[in-house]
A and B are shown apart, each in its own frame.
Chain A
Amino acid sequence: MSVRARVVSPQGLAETVFRLRELGIFIALSLTVVFFSIRATNFATAGNWRDIATDVSIVIVVAVGETMVVLTRNIDLSVGSIVGLAAYASSNTLADHHGMPLVITAALAMAIGLACGIGNGLLVAVGRIPAIIATLATLAIYRGVLFQVTHGENVFASQLPQNFLDFAAKTPAGVPSLAWIAIGVALVGGAVLRWAPWARDFYAIGSNPDAARLAGIPTTRRVMTAFAISGMLAGLGGFMFAARFASVDVVAGRGFELDVVTAVVIGGVNVFGGSGTVLGAVLGALLVATIQNGFTLLHISEFWKIFFNGAAIVVVVTIDALITQRLQENLRRRRRAEIMSAREQAAET
């Protein structure tokens, strides 16, 4: 007496492709690695991979936070400024207090990021300012705060305690310390998005904001949380930035948001919200970093990198949106045609 529910086949195929998006990126990543290993000398060396890992770790950490925001159908463009602010705070604190444990410093950086993120959340969720505008404004505001605090002065490597300067270069178990942080954040982030009920709400909000509200989900609170996390992780990214580059100036982190958004978009996190995973964002970040590293080693102009980032976003968004549009349209028409012919048959009997 039960009813067989069908998933209409062609839709099922495309659906599978979508769900295996992460697999697709992984394949692309593997191919990229193979390609550059062959064509570029010095690519497949431990030293090079250490460099890639160290740099991409910062992107990954911030991308995890950005993923949460994008899931709710918003965007956070202020992460670059938050990274700069937190980086400066980290360096400055350590310059003045050589004995400060690194963990505390990192916590301080995250706290600053958290405050910035809450600011963003208030503007978007409470102030109802479109996220693109709000975070464009806070991008400038937080950068301005950084300037106020620094008075235009840098923190120089010579002022920093040795343990901090050595931190980024350490490789416990052969893996750079920053990469360990990234792995940790990715694992925790992925776990939270999978297991925490309030994080699952991000998906619902991004997928259908009205239905989410109707279902009783406190959307304002959730969106604020997403921005808060994004800010906090950007703060951690700032700490890592300071560890990596030692000398922190006023323009630290400028343009960083583009790297992060590119990673997230390529990683299959839908700009409309509702779908995407931390794994995807991580793979996306890795793919972008690898390609850029490969470009450098192949002596391809620096400037192709910037173009590539932007072009990648346009291409990925275009393809994603086109596929979804066509799929939905086809599904709708096919279903209705089925119904009409089924009805005609019934009428004739």
Chain B
Amino acid sequence: MATQAPPLIELRGLSKSYGGVQAVADVSFAIERGSVHALVGENGAGKSTLVKLLTGVIQPDEGDIAINGAVERIADPQAAHHLGIVAMYQEPTVFPDLTAAENIFAGRQPLGRVRTVDWRGMRAEAARLFGELGVDLDPSVPVRGLGVADRQILEIAKALSSSARLLIMDEPTAALSPNEVDNLFKTVRQLRDRDVAVVFVSHRLEEVGAIADVVTVLRDGRHVATRPQTELSHGEIVRLMVGRSLDQLFPKEEAEIGDVVLRVEGLGRRGVFSNVSFELRRGEIVGLAGFVGAGRSEVARAIFGIDRADTGELSIEGRRFRPRSPRAALSRGLAYLPEDRLQQGLVQPMSIAINTSMAVLPDLTPGGVLRPRRERALARRFMEQLRIKATSPAQVVRGLSGGNQQKVVLSKWLAAEPRILILDEPTHGVDVGTKADVHRTISHLAAQGLTILLISSELPEILGMSDRVLVMREGRLVAEFTRAEATQERVIEAAAGVREVAA
């Protein structure tokens, strides 16, 4: 029996948790050289955590990574680079002011006789790389003028040139036209034929089918399967992605569903989403499902006035509403709990009290004067209501767990006493106990007459909480299910655009 060479990369028992939430648990699989390895799973399945582990951005709590059989510690992104692991994201990292050739050879330009930059040689080598990859790119073109697709090709050329062994592509096709996707895949195949391993993180199953050799499915931070792509149909992949029992149902209170409070008609933002129309009724919880990049948060931001929509109309309780700014939205009873808790939701160095009162300061400050006592009282009220575990309202938010932080953000918006509450991934990265608390609160609010739009990537959560489920894909609203009609498979299929009939 011939001895087999160890796989290029082997993940062994990797586990990582953040603030009480297990992002990845005991994940083991192998990545072979010269293969295109797709990594699929819902949002929150652990894909990006794995990518971060491989690129040295974070360190595993348990387990290790072996490269060519030898265990390596990937201490930071530079170490990953050294080891030949290169990552490429939707927005490629480039030097906009330099030319294509310079981008490839930044920091390691080919040198001529007198150790000066060999421009001709650099251009020639860049041209040769482009030729190998089958692209017709001008080495002297300034990268600022290049679109995303070309920049990605550039990054691939860079990887090839620096003898990368593993290229990780994280949702690379989100900003590409179908033509460009084809070209990208051609380039990726070239890479594969040169023995480079490519990890392709994507939720677009038709693309997975087109390019991948092997597919690894993750679910809830665990490894589910790693199989050759030919052995898996789209339907099976979907089932593997979501195949969990739904016995963990959430306590949803009965709520009386009333009149339409928010009507969205033909909302569009050029290049981001188009023709989005839906209604929300009093007391309703409407779930908005879809993969990253489908446009859900963008729609929310347009409704809330953070971004400006190009087309469409909004009306709240029958009256026309033009969301000029978050402030305007707030004054009409709209509130939006943003996706990124740390960057968009909290001012980390400040206390719970300050964060809680931030959106309602005009009401708490008669004559413009701060009333710390009122702020503290407000904070205390929510700390009790939402069961926020902290020493006092004066505690700085940075030190709180993810779950408690999220509760503070929720407090901020509840303090504004909104009539319509848009929640964007409210239980993302949050422990089970907090999740239950948040769900209980949401349900209770709806029962009291609030209207909730729940944007979430957690299917059990959406299915458990929602009266209706809307699904977005590629910037359009593609499906609507009632609570009775909605199943995990149907939602994912709509989100992924799979046309197979679920078993």
Interface residues, chain A, CB within 8 Å of chain B?
Answer: 1-8, 11-12, 15, 19, 194-197, 200-201, 203-204, 206-208, 210-217, 270, 274-275, 331-340, 342-343, 346
Contact = CB atoms under 8 A, between A and B. Distances in A.
A5 B153 contact: yes
Given A7-B141, A200-B109, A213 B78 contact: yes
A121 to B, nearest CB: 19
B252 to A, nearest CB: 35
Contacts of A342: 177-179
A335 B97 CA distance: 20
A274 B97 contact: yes
Interface in B88-141: 93-98, 102, 106-109, 111, 115-117, 131, 134-138, 141
Contacts of A206: 97
B116 A3 contact: no
A335 B148 contact: yes
A3 B97 contact: no
Given A197-B115, A200-B102, A207-B98, 12 more contacts: A3-B183, A4-B136, A5-B137, A7-B145, A15-B142, A197-B111, A212-B106, A213-B78, A215-B81, A333-B270, A337-B271, A340-B475
B386 interface: no
A335 B116 contact: no
A217 B98 CA distance: 15
A343 B473 CA distance: 11
A338 B177 contact: yes
B107 A5 contact: no
A7 B274 CA distance: 26
Contacts of B270: 333, 336-337
B116 A217 contact: no
B135 A2 contact: yes
Contact of A274 (B96, B137, B153): B96
B375 interface: no
B105 to A, nearest CB: 9
Contacts of B332: none
27 contacts: A2-B136, A3-B136, A3-B186, A5-B146, A5-B153, A12-B145, A19-B142, A195-B116, A197-B111, A197-B117, A200-B109, A204-B98, A206-B97, A208-B94, A208-B96, A210-B93, A214-B78, A214-B81, A214-B93, A216-B78, A216-B108, A270-B97, A274-B95, A335-B271, A336-B270, A339-B177, A342-B179
A338 B175 CA distance: 10
Contacts of B81: 214-216
Interface string B369-385: 00000000000000000
A340 B78 contact: no
Given A204-B106, A214-B81, A340-B475, A5 B135 contact: yes
B194 interface: no
Contacts of B137: 5
B95 A5 contact: no
Contacts of A214: 77-78, 81, 93
B274 A340 contact: yes
B30 interface: no
Pick the 8 closest A-B CB pairs, nearest first: A336-B271, A274-B97, A342-B177, A195-B116, A207-B95, A275-B97, A217-B107, A215-B107
Contacts of A4: 136
Contacts of A204: 95, 98, 102, 106-107
Interface residues of B, number: 46
Contact of B178 (A201, A210, A334, A343): A343
Find the residue from B107, B117, B142, B177 having the highest chain A CB count within 10 A: B107
A122 B147 CA distance: 38
B308 to A, nearest CB: 11
A343 B135 CA distance: 22
B96 A207 contact: yes
Interface on chain A toward B: helix, strand, loop, or mixed SS?
A: helix
A72 B95 CA distance: 13
Find the residue from A195, A274, A275, A339 having the highest chain B CB count within 10 A: A339
Contact of B107 (A195, A212, A336, A339): A212
A270 B95 CA distance: 14
Nearest to A327: B144
A92 B187 CA distance: 66
Contacts of B142: 15, 19
Interface in B470-497: 474-475
Contacts of A195: 116-117
Contacts of A216: 78, 81, 107-108
A201 B102 CA distance: 10
B449 to A, nearest CB: 37
Nearest to B136: A2
A210 B96 CA distance: 13
A333 B273 CA distance: 12
Contact of A336 (B136, B175, B179): B175
A310 B288 CA distance: 53
Nearest to B182: A3
B95 A343 contact: no
A15 B98 CA distance: 12
A61 B146 CA distance: 35
B176 interface: yes
Interface in B6-58: none
Find the residue from B81, B137, B145, B177 having the highest chain A CB count within 10 A: B145
B225 interface: no
Given A4-B136, A195-B117, A203 B95 contact: yes
Nearest to A196: B116
Nearest to B82: A216
Nearest to A270: B97
A196 B107 contact: no
Contacts of A270: 97
A214 B98 CA distance: 16
B150 interface: yes
A197 B98 contact: no
B95 A211 contact: yes
Contacts of A335: 147-148, 175, 271
Nearest to B149: A5
Contacts of A333: 270-271
B179 A211 contact: no
Contacts of B117: 194-197, 200
B83 interface: no
Contacts of A274: 95-98
Interface in B417-446: none
Contacts of B109: 197, 200
Nearest to A345: B178
Nearest to A215: B107
Given A8-B145, A203-B95, A215 B106 contact: yes
Contacts of B144: 11, 15
B260 interface: no
Given A201-B107, A215-B106, A336 B272 contact: yes
Contacts of A211: 93-95, 106
